[in-house]
Amino acid sequence: MSNLEQTLSIIKPDAVERNLENEIKEIFKNNGFLIVKEKKIQIEKSEAEKFYKVHETKPFYSDLCAYLSSGPIVVMVLEKENSVLANRELMGATNPKEAKEGTIRKRYGISIDKNSVHGSDSVENAKIEIDFFFKD
Ligand code: CMP
């Protein structure tokens, strides 16, 4: 049965800074994702804190929010069959050192913080994250 889903993807500051935006978008398109919406923005730390609220008790929360707001990012709504899982597989493990060959984080990630891309971790969070950036 068809299960067309949307997921939220972010090209993070480390990747935008290295001009990897188009290369990463091509990887999504070549893997069958449709980029339904996209915008390049820079957010305030307070907005990053709202976006990453699920991580607020983690020791890395403040650095994570400072990092996401440190430079321009590209936020995209990606559409494909089972896109939440498909995007997580294409991104690879959170820590680039553990990511498999052929994944975006293996190819471009610098560290667990500067791991080049974010992707929603569940269908439920995808809806919340898409609304966060694109509800108007
Ligand atoms: P992301 O998928 O954007 O979701 C939360 C981010 O926290 C994650 O990618 C990492 O970049 C970052 N992070 C930093 N330290 C850790 C850690 N120890 N475990 C998980 N995520 C971490």
Rounded Cα distance between 89 and 100, Å, is: 9
Task: Give distance in angstroms: CA of 35 to centre of ligand 1.
Answer: 24
At 133 the pLDDT is 98
Q: Residue 133: enclosing H or E segment and its boundaries?
A: helix 123-134
At 47 the pLDDT is 98
Per-residue tens of pLDDT for the chain, all 136 residues: 789 999 999 999 999 999 999 999 999 999 999 999 999 999 999 999 999 999 999 999 999 999 999 999 999 999 999 999 999 999 999 999 999 999 999 999 999 999 999 999 999 999 999 999 999 7
Q: Residue 13: enclosing H or E segment and its boundaries?
A: helix 13-17
> Which domains, ranges and CATH numbers included, belong to the chain?
4-133 (3.30.70.141)
Name the residue with tokens 């339904």.
36
- Choice from 84, 94, 115 to test ligand 1 binding pocket (greatest atom count within 8 A of CB): 94
Residue 40: helix, strand or coil by DSSP? strand
The amino acid that residue 62 corresponds to is: S
Supply 128's token pair: 């919340």
DSSP 58-114: STTHHHHHHHHTSS-EEEEEEEEETHHHHHHHHH--SSGGGPPTTSHHHHH--SSSS
Rounded Cα distance between 28 and 57, Å, is: 32
Q: How does DSSP classify residue 26?
A: H
Q: Is 115 in the pocket of ligand 1 (CB under 6 A)?
A: yes
- Choice from 11, 60, 65, 91 to test ligand 1 binding pocket (greatest atom count within 8 A of CB): 60
At 6 the pLDDT is 98
